[in-house]
Structure 1
Amino acid sequence: MGKKIPEKCISVEEAKELQKVWCDTRTPEIDKCLGFEDAREFHWSVKELRKYLKYVKKQSKKQGIKNPGIRIYFGAYPKEQCKMDRGYATAFLAPTGSPAGAGKDGDSPENNYTIAPYNRGGNDNPPAIY
Structure 2
Amino acid sequence: MGKKRPEKCISIEEAKDLQKNWCNTRTPEIDRCIGFEDTREFWWSVEELMDYLKYVKRKSRKMGIDDPGIRLYFGAYPSEKCKMKRGYATAFLAPTGAPAGELGKDGDSAPNNYNVPPFNGGSSGIPPTDY
Shorter-chain TM-score bucket reads: over 0.9
Moved beyond 6 Å, runs of 4+? none
| Deviation of 1:46 (Å) | 0.4
What is the alpha-carbon distance in structure 1 between the residues aligned to residue 123 and residue 107 of structure 2? Answer: 28
User: Alignment identity in percent?
Assistant: 67
Query: Counterpart of 2:117 in 1: which secondary structure?
Result: coil
Matching of residues 66-81 of structure 1 within 5 Å? 66-81=66-81
Q: Per-residue CA shift, 1:73-117, capped at 9, x if unaligned?
A: 000001110122110000000000001122311132110000000
**What RMSD over aligned residues (CA atoms) do the two structures have, in Å?**
1.0
What is the alpha-carbon distance in structure 1 between the residues aligned to residue 61 and residue 2 of structure 2? Answer: 29
> Aligned letter for 1:112?
N
> Aligned letter for 1:38?
D
What is the alpha-carbon distance in structure 1 between the residues aligned to residue 114 and residue 68 of structure 2? Answer: 12
TM-score by length of 2: 0.95
> Aligned letter for 2:51?
K
Q: Show structure 1 runs of 5+ residues with no match.
A: none
Q: Show structure 2 runs of 5+ residues with no match.
A: none
User: Aligned residue for 2:118?
Assistant: 117
> Aligned letter for 2:125?
D
Count, aligned residues: 130
| Deviation of 1:2 (Å) | 4.5
What is the alpha-carbon distance in structure 2 between the residues aligned to residue 73 and residue 115 of structure 1? Answer: 15
